[in-house]
Amino acid sequence: MAEPTGLRERKKAATKAALSQAAFRLAMEKDGIEAVSPDEIAAAAGVSTRTFHNYFRGKEEALLYDFSEMTRKLLDDLRERSRHQPIWDALRDACISLHLSDAYDVQLLQCREAIVRNSPTLITHQAGQFMELFQDAVGIVAQATGTEPTDLYPRLVLGSALISMKIANEQWIADPDAEPLEAVIAKSFAQFEAGITRPITE
Amino acid sequence: MAEPTGLRERKKAATKAALSQAAFRLAMEKDGIEAVSPDEIAAAAGVSTRTFHNYFRGKEEALLYDFSEMTRKLLDDLRERSRHQPIWDALRDACISLHLSDAYDVQLLQCREAIVRNSPTLITHQAGQFMELFQDAVGIVAQATGTEPTDLYPRLVLGSALISMKIANEQWIADPDAEPLEAVIAKSFAQFEAGITRPITE
DNA sequence: ATGAAATTTTGCAGAAGGCGCAAGTTTTCT
DNA sequence: AGAAAACTTGCGCCTTCTGCAAAATTTCAT
C-alpha cells in the first residue's frame, strides 16, 4: 500500500488526475461535456493538447477516469476476497468496500451523475467500461465457482452483481439521506439472492 | 402490421438496410470494422458519403443497426405483453419471441458476434444501446409492478432480464447445436427466479 | 398527367478530434 | 556530472463528421 514510487510516476499520476479533474470541472461549468474541448482541458491542466492525447483518447475517457480507477480497485479487492469468501459475498463486499460515499463528496457525485446522464456519449462510454470490467472479472468468478468463463452460470452471477452495484449506487446518489450506501447495496444484492421475481419486503 | 407505406419510406428503409448490410459485409471481408471507412460503405451501398452520414452517425451505428431494430421490436412486444402477463414472464417471452435463431442465419450471427467482440468500440456502442433499451423499458416495468422508474425493484428486474437475454444469446451463438435458443433463454431466466447464489441443476 | 410542394441526395468547404514523428526537456541511474 | 531513458511538445496530416445550398426525386392536388 505504500507508494515509494519515483518522482516521475508521481508526476504522471498528478498530470492524469489534473486532466481528469479539469475535464470534470469544465463540464460542470459549461453544463455538459459536449461544450468542452480537449484544448480547454489541456490548458486548464497546464499541459499541451498533445499531452492530453497522450493520456486519454478523448474527453469522455478523461471525465470517466475515476470510474476506471474504481474498477481497478474493485478488481484487486475481488481477486483477494474470492480466495476466502463465497463469490457472491465477495462481489457484494467488494462493492461495499469501495466506500464510494466516503471517498467522494456527495454533491460531487450527484453532479457527476447528472453530467453523465445528460450525455449519450458519456452513457455509452461508461457502459463500455462496465463491459470491460465484466471481461476482466469473469475469470475470477469462473474460477471461484469451478466453472469456465464461457459457462452460463458465472456470467449470470457477475452480471447480476454488476447491475446490482450500478443500480444501488445510482439509487443512493439520487437520495443519499434515505439510507446509507452500504444498506442499499446489501438490499440490492439480497434481492438477487431471494429470486428476482418477487420484491423482497424491507 | 401491414406496411402500405409510400414508395419514399420504402426506399429510405431499403437504403438504410443496404448501408447496414454493406457495413457488415465489408467488416467481415476486412476482418474488423476498423479497417472499413464510411466512404467504402457508402460506395458499396451505391450512395454518397454524405448520405451515409444522413442515416448513421458512424460506421459502428451502421453495423449495429439490426440490433436497434431488434430492440424496437422487443419494446413493442413487451409493451403489449406487460398488459396481460406478469412482467417477468413478459420479459422472458418477449426475448424468446424475437426468434433470433429463426430470423438470422446462425453462421451470420456467429460472424457478427466475432466482429463485435474483436472491436472495443463496437462493444462500447452495443453496451450503449443496451443502456438506451434500459431507459426505454424501465417505464414499462415500473408500471407493471406498480412502482416508479426511480425505485430499486423495477430496475433490478429489468437489469436482470436484459443481462439474462444478452448472456443467453451469446451462449447459444457460441454453441447453437447444444440446445435451442429458447431453452437457453428459459434456463437463464429460471436462474434468476431461483436466486442467483446457487446454480440451478439442469 | 402536370406542375407545385415537400423531401431526399449530393458536393463542397470546413471544423474538430486524434495520431506519428522528431526535436526539446526532464528525470533517472551510475 | 553525464549518459540513458522517459516524457512533453509542436507540427503536419488524416479521418470523421456537420452545415449549407443546389440538384434530383417523390408526393399530392387538380
**A183–B contact, CB cutoff 8 A:** no
Instruction: Return d(Cα A65, Cα B47) in angstroms, integer.
Output: 39
Using alpha carbons, list the distances in angstroms from residue A126 to A60, A164, B173.
9, 16, 26
What tens digit of pLDDT does each residue of A151-170 get?
Answer: 999 999 999 999 999 999 99
Question: Does the pLDDT at position A184 exceed 60?
Answer: yes
Looking at residue A2, what is its pLDDT? 38
Contacts of A153 in chain B (CB under 8 A): 191, 199
Cα-only R_g, chain B:
18
Nearest to A128 among B123, B159, B163 (CB): B123
What percent of chain B shows pLDDT beyond 90?
92
CB pair distance less than 8 Å for A195 and B195 = yes
pLDDT digits (tens, 9 = 90+) for B81-130: 999 999 999 999 999 999 999 999 999 999 999 999 999 999 999 999 99
Name the residue among A115, A91, A151, A166 with its Cα closest to residue B162.
A166
Q: What is the mean pLDDT of chain A?
A: 95
* Residue A3, pLDDT score: 52
Q: Show me where the domains of chain B are located.
A: 7-62, 64-193
- Residue pLDDT, tens place only, B123-150: 999 999 999 999 999 999 999 999 999 9
Share of chain A above pLDDT 70, in %: 97
Does the CB of A81 fall within 7 Å of any strand C atom?
Answer: no
Indicate if the pLDDT at residue A118 is higher than 90: yes
Give the confidence band of A192 by pLDDT, cuts at 50, 70, 90: very high
Q: Give the number of C-alpha atoms closer than 13 A to the C-alpha of residue A7, restricted to the C-beta side.
A: 0
Closest nucleotide to A36 by C1' from CA = C16
Which of the residues B196, B200, B201 would you substitute to probe the A interface, choosing the one with the greatest number of A C-beta atoms within 10 Å?
A: B196
B33's grid cell? 470494422
Average pLDDT over residues B35-55: 97
Q: Tell me how far apart the terminal alpha carbons of chain B are, to the nearest angstrom.
A: 39
Mean pLDDT of chain B: 95
- What b-and-e string marks burial along A35-55, b requiring 16 or more CB atoms within 10 Å of the CB? ebebebbbebbebeeeebeeb
Question: Considering only residues 112 to 151 of chain B, which have any Cβ-Cβ distance to chain A shorter than 8 Å?
Answer: 120, 123-125, 127-128, 130-131, 145, 150
Q: Which fold has domain A65-193?
A: Tetracycline Repressor; domain 2 (1.10.357)
Report whether pLDDT(A102) > 50. yes
Instruction: Round to whole Å and give the CA distance between B82 and B94.
Output: 10
- Cell numbers standing for residue B6: 409510400
Residues A64-92: what's their mean pLDDT? 97
Q: Which one-letter DSSP state was computed for residue B148?
A: -
Pinpoint the alpha helices (H) of chain A: 7-29, 38-45, 49-55, 59-63, 65-81, 87-97, 100-103, 106-117, 120-145, 152-174, 181-193
pLDDT of B2 higher than 50: no
Could you give the count of Cα atoms lying within 13 Å of B111 in the half-sphere of its Cβ? Answer: 18
pLDDT, mean of residues A120-125 = 98
A74 three-class SS: helix
pLDDT attached to residue B166: 98
The structural architecture, per CATH, of the domain B64-193 is Orthogonal Bundle (1.10)
Main-chain phi, psi angles of A64, to 5 degrees: -95, 10
CA B28 to chain centroid? 19
Confidence of residue A199 (pLDDT cuts 50, 70, 90): confident
The string of pLDDT tens digits covering residues A38-63 is 999 999 999 999 999 999 999 999 99
Top CATH class of A7-62 equals: mainly alpha
Residue A6, pLDDT > 90, answer no
d(CA A8, CA A20): 18
Number of other CB atoms surrounding residue B40 within 10 Å:
17
With 0-12 / 13-18 / 19 or more C-beta atoms within 10 angstroms meaning exposed / middle / buried, residue B168 is buried
Place of cell 463491459: A131
Residue A110 Cβ under 7 A from any strand D atom: no
- Residue A8 pLDDT level (bands cut at 50, 70, 90): confident
Nearest-CA residue of chain B relative to A194? B195
CA–C1' B150–C17 (A) = 36
Dihedral pair phi/psi, residue B37, rounded to 5°: -110, 155
pLDDT of residue A1: 36
A11 touches strand D (CB under 7 A): yes
Report d(CA B128, CA B131) in Å as an integer.
5
